[in-house]
Amino acid sequence: MAELDKEPLEADEDYNEEEVKSAKEILQNLTKTIKTQKIYLPNNPIHQKFTRQLLQLFQTHLENFGVLRLRIKRFELICSGQVIYENADRLESIAFRFFVDGLRKLSFHPGLDKEEMTYFLDVLGREEQGSSADDDIVTLLWERHFSHIQYVVVDDLAGELDDIENLKEMKREAPSTKQLQAVYEQEAPITPSALAPKGIEIPSLHIFKLTQEEINSIKRELRWEEEIDIVNELLNMLFDIIRIEHDAGIFSEVLDIIDNILQQLMFRGDFSYAKKILAFFHEMIEAPPGLESPHRLLVQEALARAGTSERIIKLAPVLNHLSSDHVDALSAFLLLLNKEVVSPLIELLAEVNTMKARRVLCDILAEIGQKDYAALVNRLNDDRWFLVRNLIYILGKMQDERTTSHLSQFVHHYELKVRKEVIHVLDTMENQRATTLLLEFLPDPDLSNRVYTIKCIAKKKIKAGMPHLLKMMQAKGFDEKALYEKKEIYTAYASLGGDAVLPEISQSLDMPWSLFRNVHAEERGICAAVALKRLASPASAEALRQGSRSKNKAIREACETALKKLAPGTTE
């Protein structure tokens, strides 16, 4: 058997190219027809159409070239010395199924009709489904008594190399009715029911014991079935049909099946398979140059349907219970959708109620938002403040300079979380308009927003903020502010102005002695000490030394503490 399998192709022998091309087309359509049988019943028009087309190809070949002879190798079918079919997948390969059941040659003769073709397809379908342990292809072919399909098998697979003459034609005449009756009478067993007295019914008991080898074989088959990825197998089968189908009606119907599967996968939250379908849509739209325009348009429409508002909004319950294991698959799936999905995703963002789901959607919208930037900014006037806040976060991640002009409307927004998000976005942007807008948040009603704005101004070295900070320090309401905010104002002003503003900062350390304690003056002195320590220059150190001699205990101790924390050499 090994030598037969390794027999070299007769590559140099003369052959008819048109004959080989026709045989290859027959095998391609045979594969497609077998796959179609798994989906459609025999009375389905599509099933009948595939069978009819295959028969027509066979009859045309037989009429033009005569007998179609195929030599069978382990994973190949050969015609006129040329490989016309090759598939190394043992689960899918027609050649392998023929080979393991002992077939070595297969021939189709003129006169092949629809009935024989239907029977032949039925044999392949039944054998693939494994309807019986004894129903190998040879047995099923023999039972059909084909007139125009002949085949050669190996009598003894183990002795195939030693006796190649054991290959013989398996064309047998049908036994007569009389012969069948004689065989039946000879083999029919006498059942207990036949021996039982009248009126006594004996149940039929068929008890047999499996051998250990049979048990192990059953276990192997069960494990194999458990490991089969049914969804993946179905999708691959449908993809193969789409790739080679030219009929617009069948193409559309199979595409609708794929689209329905996609919808169900989306609503189940199975985004790994859903992503595979979208990737296939992109492959069909972008790759095959031979794809007809109507077919390409149908695929484009299917891709567009995947991202419609009707479908996307129904993902809210799925995303609310999304596990961390599926986040990457969801992201990959959404990124494959068209730009029109941006608006539906914004609405979905408003519907989900978990932080994880919102974060995933925000990250996705930040990545695909450039495809439809207008859809994002047009929703900034939404009444739902939480949606507006998330949209501002998304726009901030996109780092588009156009965003700044759309954020000024939120300086006085009623929701402090919206204003806070705007401040955070402005902090990340490096343009003059963002800087100018950031200064407008210095008088924000919320303490945390004001402090964050002050820190941003100092960090970004926005010199234009100095007059605003000085005005705040000189305002009548300054003393009523929290000590934490006052320290940040002094520190920001000092870091922006440097030694040039030392006189203005240091004068807060000059507090005249008083019989009564002036808490506000003490806090200004403490703020000045903190700012001078942050400045950390020789001049600021000298100012702190002078402050350490203050008559006010709180200011004196604050200056002494600041001096101790200065780096060595600063005070010299």
242-271 pLDDT per residue, tens:
888 888 888 899 999 999 999 999 999 899
pLDDT value of residue 482: 93
Q: Band the pLDDT of 389: cuts 50, 70, 90.
A: very high
Q: pLDDT at residue 468 above 90? A: yes
Q: Taking residues 431-444, what's their average pLDDT?
A: 93
Distance CA 56, CA 79 (A): 19
Q: Does residue 515 have a pLDDT over 50?
A: yes
Q: Is residue 93 part of a domain?
A: yes
The verdict on residue 20 lying in a domain is yes
Contact 484, 450 (CB under 8 A): no
The domain tally of the chain equals 2
| pLDDT band at 226; cut points 50, 70, 90 | low
Question: Which tops the pLDDT comparison, 171 or 145?
Answer: 145
Last residue of a domain, one of 149, 174, 199: 174
- Identify whether 16 is part of a domain: yes
Evaluate whether residue 359 is within a structural domain.
no
pLDDT digits (tens, 9 = 90+) for 394-410: 999 999 989 999 999 99
pLDDT at 189 over 70: no
> pLDDT, tens digit, for every residue of 285-343?
886 565 677 888 899 999 999 999 999 999 999 998 888 888 888 889 999 998 899 99
Give the span between the Cα atoms of 545 and 127, in whole angstroms.
99
For the record, the structure tokens of 571 come out as 């005070």
Q: Is residue 187 part of a domain?
A: no
Average the pLDDT over 231-245 and give the result.
87
Specify the pLDDT at position 449: 95
| Cβ(47)–Cβ(56) below 8 Å | no
**Residue at a domain's end among 174, 205, 228:** 174
User: Which pLDDT belongs to residue 198?
Assistant: 56
User: Please, what is the angle between helix 483-497 and helix 519-535, to 10°?
Assistant: 40
Q: Is the pLDDT of residue 448 over 90?
A: yes
Contact 551, 509 (CB under 8 A): no
Nearest to 77 by CA among 105, 108, 36, 116: 105
Highest mean pLDDT among 191-195, 213-217, 398-402: 398-402
Residue 273 lies in a domain: no
**pTM for this model (two decimals):** 0.62
Q: Which of 137, 110, 106, 145 minimizes the C-alpha distance to 121? A: 137
User: Identity (one letter) of the amino acid at 190?
Assistant: I
Q: State the chain's mean pLDDT as an integer.
A: 83
Q: Which domain holds residue 160?
A: 2-174
Segment 36-47 shows an average pLDDT of: 77
pLDDT band at 86 (very low <50, low <70, confident <90, very high): very high
Compute the chain's Rg from CA coordinates: 42
pLDDT for 367 beyond 50: yes
Domain membership of residue 152 (yes or no) is yes
What is the pLDDT averaged over residues 488-503? 93
Which domain-ending residue is among 144, 174, 204? Answer: 174
Segment 111-134 mean pLDDT: 74
Q: Is residue 134 part of a domain?
A: yes
